[in-house]
Amino acid sequence: MEMRPLALRDITEPTITMDCRKCGRHGELNVKRLRQRYGSDLLIAVLVEIASRDCEFRERGQTDRCGAFCGTLEAMKAAPDIGSGNAYARAKGGE
């Protein structure tokens, strides 16, 4: 199976989560609105950069970096064979 960077078009859930390992920041973003604003081809990695652009750790340099990541993407990678539904919530012990 060919691996390619995931984009908004690959997300089937209505929301996508963004989290930070450094500061504990957490948020859920509406996928439909994100597609309208940025387009379906926006890479998830770029979305993480956009969502965390106001992070105080982003500008600090290499030793104290921002820990932002897409929680939904991490959950999808951890359990790719699980059917539809909220992958993030399932990974956290929910639905």
Per-residue pLDDT tens for 2-51?
567 789 999 989 999 999 888 888 999 999 999 999 999 999 999 998 88
AA letter at 73: L
At residue 82 the predicted structure's pLDDT band, cuts being 50, 70 and 90, is very low
17 exposure class (CB count in 10 Å sphere: 0-12, 13-18, 19+): buried
Which residue carries 């926006």 as its tokens? 42
Residue 15: burial class (beta carbons within 10 Å; 0-12, 13-18, 19+)? middle
